[in-house]
Every structure is written in structure tokens, then in C-alpha cells.
Structure 1
Amino acid sequence: MSAAAGTPALVRLALRRDRIMIPAWVLVTFVLIAGSARATTDLYATVGQRVRFVATSNGTPAIVALYGRIPDARSPGSVALFKIDIIGAVLAAVLSILLVVRHTRAEEESGRLELVGATGVGRRAPLTAALLVAGGADLALGLLSAAGLVAVGLPVEGSLVAGTAFATVGFAFAAIAAVVAQLTSSGRAAVGLSSAVLVAVYVVRAAGDSADAGGARRLTWLSPLGWGRQFRPYAGDRWWVALVTLGFAAVMVAAAYVLVARRDLGAGLLPDRPGPPRAGRALAGPLGLAWRLQRTSLLWWTVAFAILGAVLGGMAGSVSDIVGDSAGAGDLITKLGGGEALTDAFLSTELSFLGIGAAVFGVQTAMRARGEETAGAAELVLAASVGRFRWLASWLAVALAGTALLMAVAGVASGLVYAGQSGDGGETGRLAGAALARVPAVWVSVGVVAAAFGLLPRLAAAGWAALALFLVLTEGGPLLGLPQGVQDVSPFTHVPHLPGGQASAAPFGWLFAVAVVLLAAGLAGFRRRDLTS
């Protein structure tokens, strides 16, 4: 039997399982890229405005470290890709990691791959199918992103180069995830290690971009994210960089196939660390177990939010210089979620993005309950003296408390940095409060997952689709001119525009009430239904 036998059937199965996640992810990326490009081109319509903006942006270390340098100040397309070139590459990378791990190591860990392997399926077929699905998703993301850039009036060739950059960076991280999946023995560890690689190459790229001209700038060539920026769409159109990303992906894929043949099914090449012979008191209940399983993830999320908050606070003092005298700048940022003051408008907009990021952690944590159920672990816990309400409430408590912690950390970090710049110590509390104002909307997102899990468990993954819809409506709705009634479907549109806007208790009360109803529905439904696999 061929080592790749059964690959087409596994590809069809993977596409069926991801029929919601892949289109939702690609659609969100398309809306973000097209909406941001259109907004930026309208904001900096003249050469003089673009030159002043690029001078300020490239001269601000925090902005360069976060998003990179803009290569051509006179090119509308080059300026339009500000932020979204690195964001698009990261979104493609994360999608690739999730797809490859989901259909290789996670399937192996659950035992399903062993059953599949007992049929007419070759040893390399699961990895091949996962790479084909991830590669196809990256290709769709790249093509649709290019179409979005063309639709907003940017040149076709540069748009295709930008789409190629997104897609090939995704290919590179699919290959990285394929190797990591052979090293670890659990899907959670594979995603964590692959994500750590993504963070590491982001830091390397940031160090290279923010370094002075000279040798240190070459660090960007050591990062797949740096390669994505070296395509220079609309500022040189370097097609040949695709040879670098695709060559790297080919080498890593070849290494993954070699490693597949050298390990046992279900085992990783890295040895597992043995745990203590007895569990501590913290693991005596379901809350301690949920916390133990999520604490490492929460730690890294907290570190990331602290860094992002600090960068946000550092950028706030340069907002007026960045916007410059571009026509309609204040009105644009106000539409995106700001108040009267330009700096407050910028902070409000960016805190909204962080709120959606916190919702990702909340949805991910709430979804772990479904993973525990399908893996059979929930049945073992519930066989002891643990009630269903207590078990599910423990997972939801970690999700709710974790999201609140993330927003508090981001708000305090941004407030401390901005207070240091402005000399106003009151900014710390003001920005912390503004960040926490997003928490009720985040809890609504968690409530959607809880309700689906309790009432319609097989549709629990629709929580990701709901979050994607919230993101499109919140961040893309004003730019796309959607009716206010449609935008109001997202809970994030009901959050007062803080800092800088007027706040009342009513929106928070309604959001909190909706979250409570959804959470209660999920808990009640789970108590009455059968466990499913």
C-alpha cells in the first residue's frame, strides 16, 4: 500500500469538519484587509500627507517594532498596507497552525487516527491531507485578500504580490506546524510550541525592522514574517521572495515526513515530563483542573496583552503626528469607535481590537469543555462526586475571569506608559477602566459558546463563527457602511466609546444580562442532555 493512500478521502473529511472555520477565517481576513486599505487610502489621499505620515511612522520605534517600516512614502498601496501586511501574515500563520495540528497530532491524540490507520490509509496520508487543506486555505486567503485590495482601487500586480506574501507565509507556518506535530505528544502542546515559534519570529522581525541601518537590519531575513514584508508590494513587487518562503516550506515538509517515519503512532519525539505521583489540593475539584489545564495558555496571553498594552500606550502620544493634516482623519477614527479627542479615539479603537482578542481566549477556553467531552475526559470526571453544573461552571469561570484579567493587564500597561509620557498619573486608572468596559461584550461571546455547548453541542464550534461575525460587524461595519441595525448584532458595538466618550450604566447592564442569560441557558441545557462524543 502506498504511504499516501487514502489522502483524498482525508482531505474531504477535513474540509467537511472545517466547513465553518475556514470560510469564516478567510472572510474576516478579507474584510479587515480591504476595509483597512480603503480607509488608509482615503485618509492619506495626497503625496504630501503620505510623506508626512511615513516620516512619523518610520521614526516612531514602537510603531516600527509592531508593524514594520513603510518602504515607499509616495506609493498609495505601500501606505495602504500599513499594519495589514503584518496582520494578514499573522492571520495566515495562525490558520495554518490550527489546521495542521487539528488534523494530525490532535487526531492522533484522540485515538481517531489509529482507527483510520487500521483501514486502507497510508502512514503519510494524514500529514499530506492536513498540508493540502492548510495550503488550500492559505491560497484562498491570499487570493481573496488580493481581490479585496484590487476592489479598493490598488494596482493589480501589487495586490497579487501582497496576496502571495500572505499565502506563502501561511505555507511556511503550515510546514513548521507539521514538524512540531511530530515532536510533541498532544495537540495542545503542538499548538503552544508552534505559537511560541510564531512569537519568536515576530520578535526577530521586530528587532530587524527597528534596528538602525546596517547589519542588524538583516535579522528580518531570519523570520518568515520578515520574508512576508520583503515582498514589498506596490514598492518594488519582489516576486522572487516567494522562492525563499516556498523553499523553506519544502525543507520543513521533507523533515516532517522523515520524522513521521521515525516515531511510533501516538508518541512524540520529545519525551514527556513525568508528573508528580499525587495531585495537589488544587486539583481536588473541577475548578482546579480547569485552571491547571489553562494556566500556561493564560500566562502567555497575559504577557502578550501586557506588551500590546505598553506599545499602545507608547503610540498614543504620537497619534496627532501620525494623522497629520489629512482630511477627515478625526471623522474616520471617530467612526471606528473614538470620541472627541483624537488620542482618545485612537485608544478607544485599539482597545476594541484588544477586546476582540480577549474574546478569542474566552471562546477558546469555553470550547475546551467540548474538547474534554468528546475526548472522554469529562465522563471520567463526572463519574466522581462532581455535578455537571459544577464541572461546566468551572470552565466558564476560567474563561470569564481570564478575559477580565487580560483586559485589565492591557489597560494598566497602556495607562502606565501613556502616563509616563504625558505626566498625568490619572491616565492609568482611566485606561484601565476603558479596557474593562469591553469585558461585558467579551462575556457575551463566551456566553454564545456556553449556550451552544449546553443546548446544541455539535454546533459549539459555531462560537468561532459568531466571534468572526462580531469582528466583521464591529470593525468593518462603519467602513463598509452597514446599517446600524446590522452592526448592533455585535455586542461590541454597544460598548461606550471609552476613553473620551460618554458612558452610562444601561449598555453595561444589558450586555451583562445577555451574557447571564446565555451562560444560564448553557448550564441548564448541559444538565439535561446526554454526553456526546
Structure 2
Amino acid sequence: MIALLRQRLRRDWLQVLLWILATALMAFAGFAGVTESYSTHADRVGVLAAVMANPVIMMFRGLPSGASQGQFVSFEILPWLTMLAALMSTFLAVRHSRGDEEAGRSELIAATPAARTLPTVATIVHGVAANVVLGLLVALALAGSGLPAAGSWLAGVVSATTGIAFVGIGLVAAQLMRTSRGANALTIWILVATFLINGIGNAAGIPSNDLTRITSTWPVWLSPFGWAEQARPYDTDNWWPALLGLVFGLVLAVIATALQSVRDMGEGFVAARPGRTHARPALSHPQALVWRLSAGSIVGWAIGGALVGLLATFLGGLLDQVSKGNSQVVDILTKLAGGASLDNAMVTVFFTMLGILAACAAVQVVIHARQEEAHGTAEPVLATATGRVRWLADYMIVAAVTIVIVVAAAMAAGYVGAATNNGSSELYRSITVTGLSELAAAGVFVGITALVFVLLPRATMAVGWALVLLATVFGMFGPLFGLPEWTTHLSPFGVTPVITGDGVDLRGLWWLIAIVVVSAAAALALMRRRELAADG
């Protein structure tokens, strides 16, 4: 057991460290930004009242539990702290279970006295320990900022227990699916679904008379994110909902261990689709193989993009009602939109989320190249007339086209939403300009992730996702958290063109295009001389 834990810590200490530090940094920066932007009780009451006037916006925020400083900080950042813990945990669980099995490491360990189940137990201990450290740092960041100690420790605990719940989800998914790619896709869909279920339960809740508190409806109890929020840090400080995530995660971990002991190595409980006797003519091209490997995830990201486009335009039709009730939510939207007009603010905010989705989709495609290399399945392709540069270029091309597909799905859905709401020509223009702008922002991550893949292949996954995470924190939450303007400009999402009156402020467009071109060219040029790094 000790040897297995040491091997796991040595193998992915950097990835886990980045996730933990990013989560703790969000907790600290969230407190600083929220207290600076909404320093008075009246400011916070106004924001809560405005958000409750628009339940759909509340789906993407936390659970209102009052207007004190701590309660408002929890409302703003607790969902994202638990989201980061969940993402870290699912990737960790799949990487050390199905991922090791695909790479052949599990079979070697099973031939030792460790047998088949001890590695799963080691993964459980590893995942729990990582989340305990994450929860501890979150609690210290909040308590060190001056918030009440009891609520801060509870916020740290629910962040950790939510992560532990998703350790269990990831382990079970790894037993069900035959590939790590399939297991990761399943866990991400579960994560998104449970996040939305919790949001629906909050949005359908009953507000208090003073419009500072929501009593959620029953769907929140179907979601680990709901359990975390029902603990209500800095309000009632209920510890028992926090235990639900811990119990749920450990129960699923036991189930995963039992499933591991009864299935064949390399197989999954979800049967693979039977393959064709003869390959289609289209698969004779190496790039077609990349499309075949990425098709399922691309469809999922495109559906997410379409949902973002619909929300952006449907919510835009509610802005007039919200501004008449309270102007505080307008201040939030315009701040996040970089000072854009009210008509464009909602589209800008949601299309920033679209850029993040498109970047994630592109990074996932480039990471597939690293997975194929690490698993040894890239070698048969490179043994043909396909050279290394052409092989990497195919992944980069598919990643770039994936961005176009995701953005196009959002823009098409946005146009439908605008037509349904009798949107003005300015709204159509905003959708077009903002959507096209996100192409450049997301494209940055294709070139940079490919460059990391060439220079530091073993760090491709960790660095690729970490860059998207940091860009999201700075670009989307930087203005809300009151971070310095220069930090926002570090993010591609924070310097995309915006509409200003009758014109368009290009801002950092040319810099984004230059980074895309230079990083992509450098990656392809350096790939010519790089040797394969097949071990994970």
C-alpha cells in the first residue's frame, strides 16, 4: 500500500498541487474581490434581491443564505470551489484506475502480492487525502481572510466531501466503461447534470420575505453540490449535509472495489459496440482516425455550446424586468462584460463561458495525442508514411475545427433564441461579434497545449487543464473578484473584442492571433526532432 501511494504521489504531484492551489487561491481571491466590490450590507442585499428576481441566473450561482459578508462570499464562490474539487477528483480516480489498466500497469501490479483490489484501495486513500488537503487550505484561506472560523472550516469540509463523492463516481465510471476516455466523459456528464439539478432546485426555491435567503426544493438532495450548499456555511452551519458527500463517496468506492474483483482485466460492464468487419473508406486517412476518436466528446461539447447560446439570448429578454426591479444585477453583468452596454452584457458574459467550453474541447483533443502516444497506439500510425509533424498537425486541425463547431452551435442557438424573443439587430450583431471573438481566444489553447505536448509530453494533461483553469479565473471571475486589470488581460477570455456603441473594440485580437500562429508553428517545428515518450 505504502509503495503504491508513493508511486502515485511521485507520478502526479504536480497535477494535484495545481488543482489544490488554484482552489485555495479562488477562495482567497473571492473573499477579497467580493468584499471590495460589495462592501456594504445594502449592496449585498440589492444583489441578492436582483438575482432572486431572475431564477435562471441563480442556477449558476450558489444558495443565498443571507447578506452578511461570509454568507455572500459563500453564495458567490462555494459552487466553484466544489466544482474544482470534483474535477480534480474525477480525473484522479480515472487516471489511477482505468487509465493504469489501459497502460498495462494494473496487470503488472496484479501479478504481485498486491493483487487486483489493493491498487483501487490505494487510489481511494490517495483521493481522500488530496481532498483533505484541499479542504484544509480552503478553510485556512477563508479563515485567514477574517471570516468566522466555524463557517470557514465548514466551507473547507464541504469542498473536500464533494471531491470525495466524485472520487467514488470516478471509480465506478472506470469500472463501467472500457476506456479512460469513456470513463472521463461519463463522469463529466454526471458532474454537469448534478450541477444543473442543484441549480434548478435552488432556482425553484422559495425566497424569504427580505429576499436574502432561499429555501431550496427537493432536487438539490439529488446532487453532491446541493449537499454542500445545504450545509449553509456562515449561516446555520449544518454539518450533517457535509457528511452525505463523504458517505456517498465511500459507498461508491466500496462498490467499485467489488466490481473490480469480479470483472475481467481490460473489460467493462458497459459492452463495447461491435466493430465493422471492414473500415469505411474515410478511415484510410490518419486525420479520420482523430475524428473517430474525438467524435463523441465533440458532440457533447457542441450540445453544451448550444445550451450556452440559448441561455444567453433567452436571459437577455429578461434584462428589462431585472433592471426595473433592482439595478445591482446590471452592475454585475456590465462588470463581467468589461463595461459593455446592458444590451450586450448578457451575451458577453455567457459567450465568455462559451469560449471556455470551446477551449476545453480543444485541449481535450490535443491531450488525445498524448494519450495515444503514452498508450503506444501512436506507433502503428507513425510506422506508416505519416510523419510526426503530420500526425500532430492532424490533432491540431481537429482541435481547431472543434472550436468552430462548438462556437457555431452556440451562435446558431443564439440566433434562434433572439428570433424567439424578437431580438433587435444589435442583439444579432452582438452574438456574431462575440461568438467570432471566442474563436481566437479558444484557439490560443490549441497552440500552447500542442507546444507543451512537444516540450514536456508528460505534463501535457496537467498544464493544459491548468492553463484553462487559470484563464477562467482571471478572465471570467477577475472583474467580479476585484482583481487588478492586468491580471484580467493575462487571460485570452479577458481581451477578446467587444462592441462599443456603433463600433467594435478589437482589444487584444491581434495578440491572440499572433500567439496562435507562433505557438502552433513552434509546436510543429519542434515536433520534427522529438522522440516518442510512450511511458505515462
TM-score by length of 2: 0.88
- Name 1:138's counterpart in structure 2: 131
CA contact (8 A) 1:411 1:434 kept: no
Task: State the Cα distance separating 1:304 from its structure 2 match.
Answer: 1.6
1:257 is the counterpart of 2:252? no
Question: For residues 507 and 55 of structure 2, what CA distance do their matches in structure 1 show?
Answer: 40
- Name 1:3's counterpart in structure 2: none
CA-to-aligned-CA distance 1:130-154 (integer Å, 9 cap, x gap): 2222222222322222333334443
Question: For residues 111 and 131 of structure 1, what CA distance do their matches in structure 2 show?
Answer: 20
CA contact (8 A) 1:58 1:69 kept: no
1:55 is the counterpart of 2:49? yes
CA-to-aligned-CA distance 1:339-362 (integer Å, 9 cap, x gap): 242453454344334323322221
Alpha-carbon distance change, 410 to 146 in structure 1, aligned in 2, over 3 angstroms: farther
CA-to-aligned-CA distance 1:142-167 (integer Å, 9 cap, x gap): 22223333344432211221221111
CA contact (8 A) 2:340 2:500 kept: no
Q: Which runs of 5+ in 1 are unaligned?
A: 1-6
Amino acid at match of 2:352: S
Question: For residues 146 and 174 of structure 1, what CA distance do their matches in structure 2 show?
Answer: 20
Question: For residues 482 and 207 of structure 1, what CA distance do their matches in structure 2 show?
Answer: 33
Identical residues among aligned pairs (%): 36
Task: State the Cα distance separating 1:121 from its structure 2 match.
Answer: 2.4
Alpha-carbon distance change, 500 to 397 in structure 1, aligned in 2, over 3 angstroms: farther
1:166 is the counterpart of 2:159? yes
1:397 is the counterpart of 2:397? yes
- Name 1:517's counterpart in structure 2: 518
Question: For residues 178 and 13 of structure 1, what CA distance do their matches in structure 2 show?
Answer: 19
1:129 is the counterpart of 2:122? yes
- Name 1:4's counterpart in structure 2: none
1:532 is the counterpart of 2:533? yes
Alpha-carbon distance change, 422 to 158 in structure 1, aligned in 2, over 3 angstroms: farther
Alpha-carbon distance change, 14 to 183 in structure 1, aligned in 2, over 3 angstroms: same
Q: Which moved more, 1:48-57 or 1:258-267?
A: 48-57
Correspondence 1:262-273 to 2 at 5 A: 262-273=262-273
1:306 is the counterpart of 2:299? no
Correspondence 1:403-418 to 2 at 5 A: 403-414=403-414, 416-417=416-417
Correspondence 1:474-489 to 2 at 5 A: 474-475=475-476, 479=481, 481-482=483-484, 484=486, 488-489=489-490
Amino acid at match of 1:55: A
- Name 1:463's counterpart in structure 2: 464
CA-to-aligned-CA distance 1:161-207 (integer Å, 9 cap, x gap): 12211111111111111122122221111112222222332343234
Alpha-carbon distance change, 92 to 456 in structure 1, aligned in 2, over 3 angstroms: closer
Question: For residues 183 and 340 of structure 1, what CA distance do their matches in structure 2 show?
Answer: 47
Task: State the Cα distance separating 1:46 from its structure 2 match.
Answer: 3.6
Question: For residues 37 and 409 of structure 1, what CA distance do their matches in structure 2 show?
Answer: 35
Alpha-carbon distance change, 459 to 187 in structure 1, aligned in 2, over 3 angstroms: closer
- Name 2:93's counterpart in structure 1: 100
CA contact (8 A) 2:344 2:430 kept: no
Correspondence 1:55-454 to 2 at 5 A: 55-67=49-61, 69-72=63-66, 74-211=67-204, 217-317=217-317, 321=322, 324=326, 330=331, 336-345=336-345, 347-414=347-414, 416-417=416-417, 420-421=420-421, 423-454=423-454
Alpha-carbon distance change, 349 to 34 in structure 1, aligned in 2, over 3 angstroms: farther
CA-to-aligned-CA distance 1:85-141 (integer Å, 9 cap, x gap): 222222221211100000011110111221233334232222122222222222232
Amino acid at match of 2:235: A
Alpha-carbon distance change, 417 to 142 in structure 1, aligned in 2, over 3 angstroms: farther
- Name 1:508's counterpart in structure 2: 509
Question: For residues 134 and 406 of structure 1, what CA distance do their matches in structure 2 show?
Answer: 32
Question: For residues 526 and 518 of structure 1, what CA distance do their matches in structure 2 show?
Answer: 12
CA-to-aligned-CA distance 1:346-385 (integer Å, 9 cap, x gap): 5434433432332222112111111111111111112223
Task: State the Cα distance separating 1:488 from its structure 2 match.
Answer: 4.7
1:20 aligns to what SS in structure 2? helix
CA contact (8 A) 1:366 1:449 kept: yes
Amino acid at match of 2:471: F
CA contact (8 A) 2:33 2:482 kept: no
1:15 is the counterpart of 2:9? yes
Amino acid at match of 2:4: L
CA contact (8 A) 2:227 2:245 kept: yes
Question: For residues 319 and 70 of structure 2, what CA distance do their matches in structure 1 show?
Answer: 21
1:154 aligns to what SS in structure 2? coil
Q: Which moved more, 1:510-519 or 1:46-55?
A: 46-55
1:26 is the counterpart of 2:27? no
Task: State the Cα distance separating 1:498 from its structure 2 match.
Answer: 4.6
Alpha-carbon distance change, 377 to 499 in structure 1, aligned in 2, over 3 angstroms: farther
Question: For residues 477 and 119 of structure 2, what CA distance do their matches in structure 1 show?
Answer: 37
CA contact (8 A) 1:71 1:232 kept: yes
Q: Which moved more, 1:463-472 or 1:185-194?
A: 463-472
Q: Which moved more, 1:150-159 or 1:269-278?
A: 150-159
Amino acid at match of 1:191: N
Question: For residues 199 and 481 of structure 1, what CA distance do their matches in structure 2 show?
Answer: 28
Amino acid at match of 2:517: V
Alpha-carbon distance change, 456 to 235 in structure 1, aligned in 2, over 3 angstroms: closer
Alpha-carbon distance change, 225 to 471 in structure 1, aligned in 2, over 3 angstroms: closer
